[in-house]
Amino acid sequence: MAQSEFLKVAIEAATAAEAVIRRYYLSNLEIEVKEDRSPVTVADVETEKTIKSIILEAFPDHGFYGEETGKTNADAEYLWLIDPIDGTKSFVRQYPMFSTQIALMHKGELIVGVSNSPMFQEMCWAERGAGAFMNGEKIAVSDIDELQDAALSTGNIATLAGSSSWAGLGELIRGVSRIRGYGDFFHYHLLASGKIDLIIESDVNILDIAALSVIIEEAGGRFTDLEGKALDLDTTSVLASNNATLYDIASNTLRYRESS
């Protein structure tokens, strides 16, 4: 299936972003700390400006929501969601667990996703109805549907650790074949390509996961927040799986409810 203009521009922007990132990686950048205590560097800002320029040149009427530059025309019918360097803490510590995340939302529905990892040389992309791809090859989730055969990866789980669902996570961990904490973009790429089967996170934002959700769903998987809700701009948690069977097992075992 031919790529839409939306996807072509997203891939172009991700490729241009990679050039900026590679120029700055390993250069001992000065780090600033934002109000939420997360780090930011000139590489984050320049990368986002590069992405924004390409996207808005192609689609000047679209909205833009970036991790570093905030929202522009956020009420537009089409809204781009961008994290230029998802994993800045990794980037500044000079280990390769970071990526660029580019997603497009249309009237509240995520329809395009590109996730590019420069150091792993993995670019995943997807758009609704057209499947998911890694470096040009079609990918699909695994067909494992028994918990005892499944591999589970956890990412940021601080909020989950302080909730009543912590025991449920322990039950899942005891039930699966393997538990890992790959985190960031990496475990989502693994899930979409059939190498692991479940992901749980309780502390994310939509810019981290928007593109990845499209990729995993187009690869045949399930992707919601921990309460089973579809993603929106306020999403802060993830339950992702290869299929409905494992998804239901994990959801019923966790019985997660976000505290008010």
Pairing of strands 63-66, 78-86: parallel
* Same domain assignment for residues 126 and 162: no
Q: Which of 98, 130, 162 is the last residue of a domain?
A: 130
DSSP state, 149? G
* Same domain assignment for residues 12 and 53: yes
138 domain-assigned: no
Task: Tell me if 3 sits within 8 A of 126, measured CB to CB.
Answer: no
* Same domain assignment for residues 64 and 89: yes
- What 3-state DSSP class applies to 125? strand
Rounded to the nearest angstrom, the gap between the alpha carbon of residue 234 and the centroid of all alpha carbons in its chain is 14
* Same domain assignment for residues 13 and 118: yes
pLDDT at residue 9 is higher than 60: yes
Pairing of strands 151-154, 178-180: parallel
Return the minimum-mean-pLDDT range out of 25-29, 64-68, 89-93, 211-215: 25-29
Residue 85: the pLDDT is 87
pLDDT per position as a tens digit, 118-170: 999 999 999 999 999 999 999 999 999 999 999 999 999 999 999 999 999 99
189 domain-assigned: yes
pLDDT at residue 203 is higher than 80: yes
162 domain-assigned: yes
Q: Which two tokens stand for residue 114?
A: 């590109």
Q: Using 50, 70 and 90 to split pLDDT, how confident is the model at 260?
A: very low
* Cα separation, 194 vs 131, whole angstroms: 14
pLDDT per position as a tens digit, 56-95: 999 999 999 999 999 999 999 999 999 998 876 776 777 8
142 domain-assigned: no
- Residue 186, domain CATH: 3.40.190.80
Q: Which of 105, 130, 155 is the last residue of a domain?
A: 130
pLDDT at residue 5 is higher than 60: yes
Domain boundaries, position 215: 147-254
* Same domain assignment for residues 116 and 161: no
- Residue 37, domain CATH: 3.30.540.10
Residue 114: the pLDDT is 98
* Same domain assignment for residues 248 and 163: yes
* Same domain assignment for residues 220 and 157: yes
* Same domain assignment for residues 19 and 68: yes
Task: Tell me if 43 sits within 8 A of 141, measured CB to CB.
Answer: no
pLDDT per position as a tens digit, 96-129: 888 999 999 999 999 999 999 999 999 999 999 9
CB count within 10 Å of CB 256 equals 23
* Same domain assignment for residues 82 and 158: no
Rounded to the nearest angstrom, the gap between the alpha carbon of residue 110 and the centroid of all alpha carbons in its chain is 12
* Same domain assignment for residues 125 and 152: no
* Cα separation, 141 vs 196, whole angstroms: 8
* Same domain assignment for residues 245 and 162: yes
pLDDT at residue 11 is higher than 50: yes
Query: What is the pLDDT averaged over residues 184-189?
Result: 96
Higher pLDDT: 78 or 259? It is: 78
196 domain-assigned: yes
pLDDT at residue 12 is higher than 70: yes
Count of structural domains, the chain: 2
- Phi, psi dihedrals of residue 145, rounded to the nearest 5°: -130, 10
Residue 143: the pLDDT is 97
141 domain-assigned: no
* Same domain assignment for residues 39 and 75: yes
Q: Which of 130, 158, 182 is the last residue of a domain?
A: 130
Q: Which two tokens stand for residue 141?
A: 């989730």
Return the minimum-mean-pLDDT range out of 9-13, 40-44, 110-114, 214-218: 40-44
139 domain-assigned: no
What's the mean pLDDT when you consider all of the chain?
92
140 domain-assigned: no
Q: Which two tokens stand for residue 177?
A: 């074949």
